[in-house]
Structure 1
Amino acid sequence: MRKFLLKRLLFILFGVVAYILTKYAQNHQDWAERYSRSVYPMLSNTVGFLPSLVEFSISEWLVVVVLLFLILYIVYYVRKVIISKGARRMIVYRGVMGTAAICSVIYFCFTVLSGLNYHRYSFLSYTEYHEENYSEEELVKLCKSLAHEMGQAREKSGEDNDLMLQAPDDFDYYAQQSVLSIQTLAKKYPILERSLYSTPKPVVMSKLMSRAGIQGVFVPFTFESDINVDMPVFMMPAAMAHELAHQGGFMHEDEANFISYLACREQDDPLILYSGLFLAFDHSISVLKKVDSDKASEIISSLSKRVQHDMVQREQYWGKYKGIISNISSIVNDAYLKANNQTDGLNSYDKMVNLLLAEQRGLEKYN
């Protein structure tokens, strides 16, 4: 009994250490930033190297294995409790302690491989822009500017091109280009420089991701960016760049969105540019709707027919997957974000607009 307890406590200590590190990072942003710029790159290169050598998502199947293990683990202890004639409390105790030990190790790995990055400096602190208060006029100007650029990029991608469709080799092409986009952007913002950016991976169970309302996910345990290949193809480049921003150590969703937008602008490919602009416009017009719905409707109606068609198709695609799974996913994601220094939860994604407005004001100032 004592030997069992000591073994489990040893593993549970990992969870205690992770908790202490997280609390320290929350109160010492300078330390968190130093960790993100020194220890994290080494860990990411070490852990991510082997998974980067294969084209399929290791993390996707790792999740399946872990879930099966947990189910078998629970079934094993429930069965032992049922068939045991005595010492049931001890069996329950051992099961609970084992679960706590597993969760502690997972929590520790998450903390050192990405969790501490939630408490680092903002990406904006490495740019010439500053986040301030912005007027409604500036927001309207931003939406109009993005709408205009979207129309131009969409026209270059081909008026007859159905952006809901995807050719078999599209994913590999955009995966490679997304890494190139981030690397090119890193020349302007060296904080994004990494010796290894693992190429985004397609997810076999993408329809399940669609049911959960998920475009992509960064898995820190393998440093893979897993992408939903079932969604409209014009959304993929921005989703890939977003997850690569997480790989680069920026975990806040608004910052990952902003980095994705900037990275997509580094490309000449019209669809990649369109993807980044679509992402930025989608969040900007969403914020404007809350401020002035009439002005937002006016800007949307001014969009080209092809852009409006893409927006309708996008809404129809995600609309058919709305249900219990997507609702549960939203609740879980909201709780996860709030637990990781993003108090706005799912609304954190829309905070990207503040960064876009900071860029707009900055460009106007320097030009």
Structure 2
Amino acid sequence: MKKIRVRWIIQAVCLVLVWLLKLFPHGGEWYATTIYPVCSGGLACFSSFFPFSLNDLFIYGSLAGILLYLLYALLCKHRVKQALVHVVEYLVWVYIWFYAVWGLNYYRNDFYQRTQLQRQVYSEELFGRFLQVYTDSLNAAYCPVDTVEKEKVEAAIKASYAVLDTKYGLTCPPENLRPKPMLFPSLMSGVGVMGYIGPFFIESHLSKDLLPVQYAATCAHEMAHVLGISSEAEANYYSYLICTTSSEREIRFSGYFSLLPYVLSNAYRVLPEADFKAWRETLRPEIVSLYREKADHWQNLYNPLLGEIQDKMYNWYLKGNRISSGTANYSEVIGLIMAAQSASF
């Protein structure tokens, strides 16, 4: 009994420390710039020794273990109450581990605070200028991407992140960082997930179903999460920035092409119908064809029921971690880009 009480005291202290960093105005930023680089470097080095995902093994193994443990307690008429206490205690440790090694990045200063850029108020002129620059760049960057040299792309992206302006507040990429395959890739593709960070062991995961043109941008997006970025809009921004400034044409086009869904949705929402159709006609036919191919590819893999469940759960998860717009946060990358463009004029 004494050991249990000591364990609970340690757990309570850890919980209080996590909550204090969440509540303290700059606690998350202090964590992201002092504690997280150490955690991420150590865990990424450790996980690099394993070719499979430790994160996925931990999550699915924990779920299976909890279910089997509770089933055992019920079938054997064991102390069910005690089993429930053990499960709750374990889940609290998982909660602490998540926030201690990555999750507190949700509570850091936002993009505008760290970069000193001004949030832009929408205007037709501002959006029109962005749309013109983007469309010209997208059309000019087009090139067929039939295959992808994964190691070459990963090395180029990692090197670009290593020299990114320190104002963004990212950590330096761990030396042994490499994307890993998902444990259940078909399940992830079925809910539309192309990549994700494994926060428990600082691993990035990429879908085996990615089209060659998507690989570089998705790799750069997930690497941003590994480097301490929690916001999906920010991860999209860094992916766009890293890829579109690359010396490799295939990587540049991947960056511009990855932004197209968000540009389309924003343009459709704010432009008059005639103007939207006129703008869409300015896209190269090859790009339109590739976009439709990508949409059909993922639609054929998508499971509507599981996808809707996953979307609602992830929306809830993001809103519970200071991403007030939930899954709509992805498309907010346009605002970040416009803020950076306005500062350069």
What TM-score do the two structures reach when normalised by structure 1?
0.85
Residue number in structure 2 paired with 1:263: 242
Residues 1:110 and 1:291: Cα distance change in structure 2 (over 3 Å): same
Q: Contact (CA 8 Å) 2:225, 2:235: kept in 1 or not?
A: yes
Residues 1:62 and 1:178: Cα distance change in structure 2 (over 3 Å): farther
Question: 1:109 Cα deviation (Å)?
Answer: 0.4
CA distance in 1, matches of 2:246, 2:282: 26
Q: Decide which moves more: 310-319 or 295-304.
A: 295-304
Pairs within 5 Å for 1:331-346: 331-346=312-327
The alignment status of 1:46 with 2:39, answered yes or no, reads: no
Residue number in structure 1 paired with 2:193: 214
Q: 1:358 aligns with which of 329, 339, 342?
A: 339
The alignment status of 1:200 with 2:179, answered yes or no, reads: yes
Q: Contact (CA 8 Å) 2:55, 2:199: kept in 1 or not?
A: no
CA distance in 2, matches of 1:78, 1:178: 51
Residue number in structure 1 paired with 2:308: 327
Q: Contact (CA 8 Å) 2:18, 2:96: kept in 1 or not?
A: no
Question: 1:299 Cα deviation (Å)?
Answer: 2.1
Q: 2:109 aligns with which of 121, 140, 148?
A: 121
Query: Partner of 2:109: helix, strand, or coil?
Result: coil
Residue number in structure 1 paired with 2:66: 70
Question: 1:293 Cα deviation (Å)?
Answer: 5.3
AA in 2 matched with 1:149: S
The alignment status of 1:10 with 2:7, answered yes or no, reads: yes
Question: 1:241 Cα deviation (Å)?
Answer: 1.1
The alignment status of 1:96 with 2:84, answered yes or no, reads: yes
CA distance in 1, matches of 2:234, 2:5: 38
Residues 1:8 and 1:235: Cα distance change in structure 2 (over 3 Å): farther
CA distance in 1, matches of 2:235, 2:5: 37
Q: Decide which moves more: 217-226 or 120-129.
A: 120-129
Question: 1:143 Cα deviation (Å)?
Answer: 2.4
Residue number in structure 2 paired with 1:150: 138
AA in 2 matched with 1:7: I
Q: Contact (CA 8 Å) 1:147, 1:281: kept in 2 or not?
A: no
Question: 1:19 Cα deviation (Å)?
Answer: 4.8
Residues 1:27 and 1:296: Cα distance change in structure 2 (over 3 Å): farther
CA distance in 2, matches of 1:12, 1:298: 65
Residue number in structure 2 paired with 1:87: none
Question: 1:22 Cα deviation (Å)?
Answer: 4.7
Deviations 1:29-62 (A, max 9, x none): 3222112111111111122211124444332333
Question: 1:125 Cα deviation (Å)?
Answer: 3.2
What TM-score do the two structures reach when normalised by structure 2?
0.90
Residue number in structure 1 paired with 2:124: 136
Residue number in structure 2 paired with 1:303: 283
CA distance in 1, matches of 2:6, 2:269: 51
The alignment status of 1:27 with 2:6, answered yes or no, reads: no
CA distance in 2, matches of 1:301, 1:13: 62
Residue number in structure 1 paired with 2:258: 279
Residues 1:269 and 1:353: Cα distance change in structure 2 (over 3 Å): same
The alignment status of 1:108 with 2:96, answered yes or no, reads: yes
Query: Partner of 1:218: helix, strand, or coil?
Result: strand
CA root-mean-square deviation: 2.3
Q: Contact (CA 8 Å) 1:77, 1:95: kept in 2 or not?
A: yes
CA distance in 2, matches of 1:123, 1:17: 31
Question: 1:65 Cα deviation (Å)?
Answer: 2.4
Q: Decide which moves more: 32-41 or 19-28.
A: 19-28
Question: 1:128 Cα deviation (Å)?
Answer: 5.3
Q: 2:169 aligns with which of 191, 206, 229?
A: 191
Residues 1:299 and 1:54: Cα distance change in structure 2 (over 3 Å): farther
Residue number in structure 1 paired with 2:159: 180
Residue number in structure 1 paired with 2:218: 239
